[in-house]
Amino acid sequence: MIKIQMDNGFAIVDTLKTVFGFDTFRPNQEQIIKGILNKQDVFAVMPTGGGKSLCYQLPAKIMRGAAVVISPLISLMKDQVDAARTNGIAAAYMNSSLNDQEVSDLYRMLKGNKIELLYIAPERFAMPNFLDILKDIPISLFAIDEAHCISEWGHDFRPDYLSLSVIPKMFPNAPIAAFTATATFKVQEDICRKIGLRKPFVVRASFNRPNLFYQVERKSSGESQILEFLRAHPDESGIIYRTTRDSVMETALFLTSNGISAIPYHAGLPPEVRNKNQDAFNRDEAAVIVATIAFGMGIDKSNVRFVIHADLPKNIEAYYQETGRAGRDGEPARCLLFFSRGDIPKIRYFIDQITNDAERSLSLEKLNQVIRFASHNVCRRRQLLGYFGEVYPADNCGNCDICLGAVERFDITRDAQIMMSAMSRTGQRFGIGHIIDIVIGADTKRIRALEHDKIKTYGSGKDKDKNHWQFIIDELLAQDAIKQEGNPYPVLKLTQKGSNILYGKEQIAAIKREETKERGRAKRDGFEEYDQALFEKLRMLRKRIADDEGVPPFVVFSDKTVHEMCRYYPAALPDMRRISGVGNVKLERYGDAFVQEIMRYLSENPGIPIPDAAPHGRDHAHTGSHGEEKTGETVEETYRLLQKGLSMDAIARQRSLTSSTIAGHIEKLIQSGRDIDIDRLVEPAKRREIEELFFTLKQWSLKPVVEAGNGRITYEEARLVRACLFRDRGKNHDATD
């Protein structure tokens, strides 16, 4: 049963506002949510940053029972759970990091309907005892993240996902929602069939990410080019992808030696090092992570401002997925690919090791597609969307290097005829390199052996270098005047259009463009500017709060939400509530701190023009998580329950809030001078240990104290002891004054 009457959709809108802090849905979200609430299976292809997590988190908040989310990487589950909890959702994860007692406690909470959102890994479904237990638990829905992993036709097939086919058989009354950011129509059909989705509501959202600026640069000096980009974008968080483990380590070392906060990530590193480095990146302790493709699936970090491919990706799907990790918050971000044809043989080497002919041929075709993307002077966005069967409607996307470059069209008919004549006179049986050698008159052993130095076209293009003739080849391929055929060594063939050009029946022109290295920085159509000085202050505040709570900064507030604060300067809680992404729980936990920082900034900078209000015009300033409580009243409710003798965990369960939120309430009560029996909440011996750690470590951040406790101390306990120390220190100052 659904907890709330859904007749007029009030519960959906109210939950969107009060829990997540939004007034409107992104495209397709509302239809997907309504489908799930009507217990219909859903298959959704949504781009990274399209808001798929809200599509199952919002129903999880409304429906009875636990929503089970299948997620492929356990290293990300804690961040996903932390993010849900900061919005007031009772979330948990179950994976190999938990001990038997923790798993037992979690099952008990699930059976007691105390968990709204449960994250698990797909391999759990291969465990019969897990399925038997799950059958006894009220389940509201199943959400399958990264659903393309179930298809051998997808770019990241994982056998563990095949066990998910048991879900519709064992749980016939629970809707299943499968999500992926990348799926061709063929992969889509394969996913639906293998999971066993029942007449699913299918959504194929646009693959367009308008906030991403796509750029390809010719790779020349490699690491120096990367360093130049990073120095032009200081304090921005980003990912650099390299093909090999050695190149990852070399690039990370090079950047570190040049003053860039960069860390490596690849499958050859010990698990504890990988986890530590990923955690440092998520928490903004390292600005840049240099990684192989072992890093990335399901990255939740919303404030990645750039993704650099320092080597050629192996296919378009991987490139789209990897670039999609930039700008998940919807704010402008850059995707830069350094392209060199010298990268092609490295990928070809691995393709040639594939023994299955069909698989090898498919991999080669995918490589050729990404080469065309990188080398052709055609709108990057148009090419990407075209790969997924989507037609981009505009002539100019306005946010890629091709469309923003200074463009000049010039005739290349004569050079095209020279190139295609060499192809024709050699029987259309040779590849790019050999044909270029003929045209420039190269004196090679192969040309002499085949007597290609005797054909009429030999040396007819010697007045221009190889780079020019490579450019001509790229243009002819891009405009379908020639094509490549054959495997593993493709040869050049004329098309009908090419024959028309060769015999003078048709002309052909090319586009010459200027490089646009920094155009992406200036391009902000549809994105408002913000007060960058205030952003730096709020960013530091966000980092302090995140370190205190042991969560990544983007879990507190996304860049997009902080940017909006820096446009509208909310200097009171009702104003802060109008900011997109500030729900009731986050307002309660973080609102005061951000309001105070903004007020301090305004007092130090008089004369700043303040807009009337944020554009959302939200009217739920006094609506709490249950539709009636004001922010101050919810703290008083916690105090009332404390006075009745309830523990912190018991209060959290009774109020359907997280322990962290309740600890925040108690911290405010202690600071305001209320009579709180701290020894009832934190054992006296542990309290003394925590106090000693604060003084020994000589800082007030919670994270070092919790880590020094080696699992014995929780963030909530450290927070309460710190509040008492602050209170007692204030009393001592009063006594001496």
List pLDDT tens digits, range 131-147: 888 888 899 999 998 88
Residue linked to tokens 């130049």 = 228
CA 325 to chain centre: 4
Would you say residue 346 has pLDDT above 90?
A: no
Q: CA-CA distance, 328 to 317, in Å (whole number)?
A: 17
- Check residue 612 and give its pLDDT: 67
- Check residue 335 and give its pLDDT: 96
Hey, which CATH number is domain 408-513, 3.40.50.2300, 2.60.40.10, 1.10.10.10, 3.40.50.10470? Answer: 1.10.10.10
Nearest Cα neighbor of 312 from 243, 381, 388, 402 is 243
The answer to whether domain 10-204 and domain 528-605 are alike in fold is: no
Band (pLDDT 50/70/90 cuts) for residue 634 is: confident
Superfamily per CATH, domain 10-204: P-loop containing nucleotide triphosphate hydrolases (3.40.50.300)
Residue linked to tokens 């919303």 = 302
- Mean pLDDT across 18-40: 91
Nearest Cα neighbor of 602 from 643, 641, 572, 640 is 572
CA 483 to chain centre: 36
- Of 174-183, 229-238, 525-534, 608-617, the range with the lowest mean pLDDT is 608-617
Tell me which of 655 and 448 has the higher pLDDT. Answer: 448
Nearest Cα neighbor of 584 from 661, 669, 640, 639 is 661
In contact, 697 and 704? CB cutoff 8 Å: yes
530-557 pLDDT tens trace = 898 999 999 999 998 988 888 889 889 9
Q: CA-CA distance, 429 to 446, in Å (whole number)?
A: 14
- Check residue 294 and give its pLDDT: 64
- Mean pLDDT across 261-287: 89
Would you say residue 483 has pLDDT above 90?
A: no
Would you say residue 220 has pLDDT above 50?
A: yes
- Check residue 296 and give its pLDDT: 59
Would you say residue 521 has pLDDT above 50?
A: no
- Check residue 614 and give its pLDDT: 59
Band (pLDDT 50/70/90 cuts) for residue 710 is: confident
Q: CA-CA distance, 431 to 210, in Å (whole number)?
A: 37
Band (pLDDT 50/70/90 cuts) for residue 617 is: very low
- The fold of the 528-605 domain, in CATH, is DNA polymerase; domain 1 (1.10.150)
The pLDDT mean for the chain works out to 84
Band (pLDDT 50/70/90 cuts) for residue 180 is: confident
- Check residue 400 and give its pLDDT: 92
- Mean pLDDT across 32-58: 90
691-702 pLDDT tens trace = 999 888 887 778
- Mean pLDDT across 49-59: 88
- Check residue 408 and give its pLDDT: 66
> Structural domain boundaries of the chain?
10-204, 212-395, 408-513, 528-605, 630-737
426-440 pLDDT tens trace = 999 999 999 999 999
Would you say residue 282 has pLDDT above 90?
A: no
**Residues 495-530, buried b or exposed e (16+ Cβ, 10 A)?**
bebbeebbeeeeebebeeeeebeebbeebeeeeeeb
State percent of the chain over pLDDT 70.
Answer: 89
- Two tokens, residue 366: 């995918």
- Check residue 734 and give its pLDDT: 42
Alpha helices by DSSP H, listed for 19-73, are: 29-37, 52-62
3-state SS record for 637-688: HHHHHHHCCCCHHHHHHHHCCCHHHHHHHHHHHHHCCCCCCHHHHCCHHHHH
- Of 289-303, 351-365, 535-549, the range with the lowest mean pLDDT is 289-303
Does domain 212-395 fall under CATH 3.40.50.300? My reply is yes
- Two tokens, residue 74: 């356990």
Would you say residue 624 has pLDDT above 50?
A: no
- Check residue 690 and give its pLDDT: 92
Q: Considering the domain 630-737, what is its CATH architecture?
A: Orthogonal Bundle (1.10)
Band (pLDDT 50/70/90 cuts) for residue 7 is: very low
